[in-house]
Structure 1
């Protein structure tokens, strides 16, 4: 009986020792894993912090520019102050920001938009100052001087219009191509086999532009085979300086937001080789891509 008790006690000690050994191994493994995770996070955190500091420097420079212009300006001070306050708020938000790289990109886009707005306001301010000078000159100047001033003012106005037009231009990017086969069930199967392809899915992105006005546009899509032959409907559009042969047209209603445009070009008996896809806004080539059928 005493031997059984000793054996039982020995077993309990051995089980306890094994449990403690397993527990220690688990703790060491968990600590090692957490250490590796922490080390992998550090580079990203450092990169985000450097990116944040860079954006803060840009914002502070932007605020200083607004401060200087406001001190020199009287006619547009309210609008300038409102824009400067946006910069100040953005700085305050960014100081306490602890987000990821994706969120930092939103701040960078906002900084870019604020810089464009500052440039436009600066030009508008120059136009207003010129107009004020013109008013004072009109009181005691001759007709010739007045005409020269008006011409100069027209030049400034035209510069402003050109600047606004430049920054309000829609940007097309990210053209992607997917070739596919349509099954009897209606299911779409992606394939790059020339003998099986029955359709070409073409999509592109129109970037967000808060300066641009809502507008209805037509983008012309040109698909060319390796022999530079346009495939598809093969329509012709005549523009100011040249005629454009295209495969299909895409009617777009732009509302100042990023949007993806998708069109499909169907057909059969596609030849093997490399195809080129060009996206035109009027007669201007705005994006391009290519794909290969085997």
Structure 2
């Protein structure tokens, strides 16, 4: 009767996990699309900055030509703007970088205001350029506000993706077995006859997870709550995990079945309920129970 209840519980748990995986997949796709939109918005803002800087160069050219200025501070200022344009053109759209260039543009704007104030012959033109500088600053301020919002969304997206990229466990099953001399394992629920606790689970497909060598921790507790097997403790992210056995495997982004055998190093097996947990670091991925008579 207990076995039938356990099997029913496992089927319900498997269905729930499958539904959660589907929902998580939909969320990941949605968040991935949001990330693409964020990158597109950053590229658009970069083009706005370049457009403003190029317009400033055109205005410098007009003023310098009208006043026949060959060697002047205005020429030097124009060259600095051109250098800034070259830097912005080759940069990768990034919130922090755009902010840095905003600071450089603001600094150039202050220098230009000073130069025009010192040149009486350019007062009329100075009014036009000062207006454009103000407009550019306002546009950059608006862009900065938009970038702050995008940065928050990007951080939230990174957090969700990092969480979804972690491995999960489904179809966790654990029972006691008798180990024959031939090595064959036979399931049995008689505490006086069994030799090992065998735990099997499946790592499902996760396209966001990095392939490679992975480590999970299997923890088996006897009816008294004593951890069987190795009974070793590791510290992960400041938290201690005591395990019965370490599961080591190579993950290739496709379903993988894993089984581990845990010995009883403390003597005979006790009658009662056994609890089995599987951890990824300090994160509990799955748990199950079984009973020995």
| TM-score, length-scaled by structure 2 | 0.56
Give the C-alpha shift of residue 144 in structure 1.
8.4
2:226 is aligned to: 229
Please point out which of 96, 111, 129 is paired with 2:41.
Answer: 129
Alignment of 1:143-158 (within 5 A): 145=141, 151-158=148-155
2:3 is aligned to: none
Taking the aligned partners of 1:141 and 1:239, their CA distance within structure 2 comes to: 48
Taking the aligned partners of 2:157 and 2:40, their CA distance within structure 1 comes to: 11
CA RMSD of aligned residues (A): 3.0
Give the C-alpha shift of residue 258 in structure 1.
0.9
The one-character-per-residue Cα deviations of 1:62-121 (angstroms, maximum 9, x if unpaired) are xxxxxxxxxxxxxxxxxxxxxxxxxxxxxxxxxxxxxxxxxxxx9xx9998577434412
Give the C-alpha shift of residue 280 in structure 1.
0.4
Structure 1 contact 134–149 (Cα < 8 Å) conserved: no
Correspondence 1:141 to 2:53:
no
Taking the aligned partners of 2:38 and 2:49, their CA distance within structure 1 comes to: 16
Structure 1 contact 206–258 (Cα < 8 Å) conserved: yes
Structure 1 contact 233–248 (Cα < 8 Å) conserved: yes
Alignment of 1:238-253 (within 5 A): 238-253=235-250
**Pairs aligned (count):** 187
Specify every segment of 5 or more residues in structure 2 that has no aligned partner in the other structure, as ranges: 1-17, 53-135
Give the C-alpha shift of residue 187 in structure 1.
3.3
Please point out which of 209, 212, 215 is paired with 1:212.
Answer: 209
Alignment of 1:59-98 (within 5 A): none
The one-character-per-residue Cα deviations of 1:31-85 (angstroms, maximum 9, x if unpaired) are xxxxxxxxxxxxxxxxxxxxxxxxxxxxxxxxxxxxxxxxxxxxxxxxxxxxxxx
Q: Secondary structure at the match of 2:205?
A: coil
Please, which moves more after superposition, 134-143 or 240-249? 134-143
The one-character-per-residue Cα deviations of 1:149-174 (angstroms, maximum 9, x if unpaired) are 65444333323322322333322111
Q: Secondary structure at the match of 1:231?
A: coil
Taking the aligned partners of 1:253 and 1:203, their CA distance within structure 2 comes to: 16
Taking the aligned partners of 1:238 and 1:185, their CA distance within structure 2 comes to: 38
Q: Secondary structure at the match of 1:279?
A: strand
Taking the aligned partners of 1:270 and 1:255, their CA distance within structure 2 comes to: 37
Structure 2 contact 202–256 (Cα < 8 Å) conserved: yes
| TM-score, length-scaled by structure 1 | 0.56
Q: Secondary structure at the match of 1:141?
A: helix
Taking the aligned partners of 2:178 and 2:49, their CA distance within structure 1 comes to: 73
Change (3 A) 1:167 1:112: closer
Give the C-alpha shift of residue 147 in structure 1.
6.0
1:269 is aligned to: 268
1:199 is aligned to: 196
Structure 1 contact 131–153 (Cα < 8 Å) conserved: no
1:85 is aligned to: none
Structure 2 contact 24–164 (Cα < 8 Å) conserved: no
